Amino acid sequence: MKILLFMLFLFTLPMAGRAEDNSLSEVRITAEGNTQFSLFAPENARSVKVRVYATANAKKAEKTIALKLRDGRWQTEVKGNLTGRYYTFSVNGMQECAGIFAKAVAVNGRRAYIADMRSTDPEGWAADKRPVVKNAVDHVIYELHHRDFSIDPSSGLTHGGKFLALTEPKAIAHLKRLGINAVHILPSFDYASIDETHLEENKYNWGYDPLNYNVPEGSYSTDPATPEVRIREFKQMVQALHAADIRVVLDVVYNHTFNTKESNFHLTYPGYFFRHRDDGSDSDGSGCGNETASEQPMMRQFMVESVRYWMDEYHIDGFRFDLMGIHDMETMRLIRAEADKVDPTILIYGEGWSAGTCAYPQDKLAMKATTYEMPGIAAFSDDMRDALRGPFSDDHKTAFLGGEKGHEESIKYGIAGCISHPQVDITRVNYSKRPFAAQPGQAIMYVSCHDDMCLVDRLRASVPELSDPNRRPRYKINTLIDLDLLAQTAVMTSQGIPFILSGEEMLRDKKGVHNSYCSPDSINRLDWTNLKRFPKVFDYYCGLIAMRKAHPAFRLADADLVRRHLEFLPAEDCVVAFRLKDLEGIDSWREIVVVLNSNRTARNVTIPDGWWTIVAQDGRINLSGLGVAHGPVATVPARSAMILQR
Ligand code: CA
């Protein structure tokens, strides 16, 4: 009897539990082996139908079933386990669609598929563990596009442009040597613009055109026509990176859909998921034709559930929110709370801006300026980025790196992790009116990302000597490298969370293309032969990252610690100098001095008196020391960083 009761409990609880929790999940197999469909669609819909197909391309449905409204959801139960079948929903006779929460899809994502998700787990998946990263500031993020990274034969990788490339020992060895501990993958959910039935065309896209938010993209799998394959290969990728102690951050794009009228949101519940202007037209805060309405209860629930699903099903460790400034702060806080239930160290960050005006009160949006009101959520610091290399709006304008004075205060702000610091005069900082971060873990520090020019192209476009036809190529490449290393020294010695674009460590360029979102592989691909051509660059990046990881003084987790231990030193134009002091109990180095000099000649900086070990100088870095220096004056060569410790 006891056993019977227990069995009954086992079989009924999951069913009862799920039926009541109002999950947006649209298909499930009951304990009795039947298939339930449900859909969030208008209560006054004339008809809501599900069609079941035997194959991805079958013209005729095996079954067409009308759903009935019950407890606010349209639902039906079909006899038998339909795992392995395809299905679509149709509301009021509109075009068929995959629903909003498909977990597996046919090639090109227009039909959903009922997968046995457990059958997609690679061997050992149950034992897969999230790598331990104690504090947000302990991450070193590497932003990667699958094709950029592995499509060129010079990569030596077998699975060019595929999830599986990141399972290959050579790829893992490269990332491990570089020392990054989080790979941020550009959109890897199912997006619309690549025809998955014609992969031989080698079309390229970043993937900011969402189709199915909860399914991996087919073109990154070895077989997009077999729905389980992309799911399994995505998991294999996560598993391989986790085994190498590298976390996986997913770029999520809930702020807009590829198109509006043909989106799954519109086709299931017209109007509901999007924001509209007063005249009823679609608001376009994304610059892509629409913007979603995170404040709508079901859109909010959709985002929370989706993020939770990626954490649970795919073991994702962090999320980068595209145009986070389109979402409302309340939704972002709920997402943070949901992530905390799984693991409080899951990273959440985003772009604290929108691309156009949103049809929602500005003061409620998750903009960078109010990041401090969203604990545990970080925003990209364009303040630091632009102070280093120049503004987004004009590729040819330079800043600190080009030897232009007036950007020092913004760089100091970045070095402090965009928190309030007694020595940073916020009125002289480029964009922020007040410090946007309450804690250093709320600021992403970077000088380049996939957007606009990569660092090499930007330096070439904005620093006059690098485009001067009268300068010798040798001079230009050396100057380029000097400035590149100086830029990343600023990023890696800043408080906050450092972030680099994949390939910067091999001096990548994009042939000067500003927006390469659909440029061919020839523009976007990394040339791995650069590792041999510019070994100095890779060695320096490795050294910088190793230094940051070995020395907690560069990644203080608390704002008060930053204010206590970070002190800026007096310096002239185009020099930023600081020391990290009183580090007993925090770091094996008692004191650290960092000087960034972007002048075209050497500069003297006053440092505390006495002997110092030189860790970095003139484009070289060695944690055991390159030599010694004696205060109170340090001479820092032109366009270089110096790091001293004792
Ligand atoms: Ca796709």
- The string of pLDDT tens digits covering residues 255-280 is 999 999 999 999 999 999 999 999 99
Q: Is residue 449 predicted with pLDDT exceeding 80?
A: yes
Query: Which percentage of the chain shows pLDDT scores above 70?
Result: 97
Q: Which among 351, 383, 395, 505 is annotated as catalytic?
A: 351
Task: For residue range 90-108, list pLDDT tens digits in order.
Answer: 999 999 999 999 999 999 9
Written as six digits, the tokens of 574 are 């185009």
Calculate how far, in angstroms, residue 480's C-alpha sits from the geometric centre of ligand 1: 38
- 591: annotated active-site residue: no
Calculate how far, in angstroms, residue 211's C-alpha sits from the geometric centre of ligand 1: 7
Q: What band does 14 get if pLDDT is binned at 50, 70 and 90? A: very low
* pLDDT for 10: 38
| Overall average pLDDT of the 165-176 stretch | 98
Calculate how far, in angstroms, residue 85's C-alpha sits from the geometric centre of ligand 1: 19
Cis before 632? omega within 30: yes
Task: For residue range 21-53, list pLDDT tens digits in order.
Answer: 579 999 999 999 999 999 999 999 999 999 999
DSSP letters, 511-544, are TT-S--TT--HHHH---TTHHHH-HHHHHHHHHH
* pLDDT for 548: 98
Query: Which percentage of the chain shows pLDDT scores above 90?
Result: 96
Calculate how far, in angstroms, residue 551's C-alpha sits from the geometric centre of ligand 1: 42
Calculate how far, in angstroms, residue 108's C-alpha sits from the geometric centre of ligand 1: 5
Q: Is residue 6 predicted with pLDDT exceeding 60?
A: no
| Overall average pLDDT of the 303-307 stretch | 98
* Average predicted confidence (pLDDT) for the chain: 96
Q: Is residue 397 predicted with pLDDT exceeding 90?
A: yes
Of 482, 495, 535, 506, the closest CA to residue 642 belongs to 482
Q: Which among 168, 322, 395, 408 is annotated as catalytic?
A: 322
Calculate how far, in angstroms, residue 496's C-alpha sits from the geometric centre of ligand 1: 34
Whole-number Å distance between alpha carbons of 214 and 431: 36
Task: For residue range 490-526, list pLDDT tens digits in order.
Answer: 999 999 999 999 999 999 999 999 999 999 999 999 9
| pTM score over 0.85 | yes
Q: Could you tell me if 338 and 316 are in contact, meaning their C-beta atoms sit under 8 angstroms apart?
A: no
Whole-number Å distance between alpha carbons of 424 and 578: 12
- 425: annotated active-site residue: no
Calculate how far, in angstroms, residue 504's C-alpha sits from the geometric centre of ligand 1: 28
Strands (DSSP E) found in 536-602: 566-569, 575-580, 592-597
* pLDDT for 1: 40
* pLDDT for 22: 78
* pLDDT for 588: 98
Calculate how far, in angstroms, residue 223's C-alpha sits from the geometric centre of ligand 1: 12
* pLDDT for 21: 57
Written as six digits, the tokens of 447 are 């000088």
Q: Which residue has the higher pLDDT, 579 or 11?
A: 579
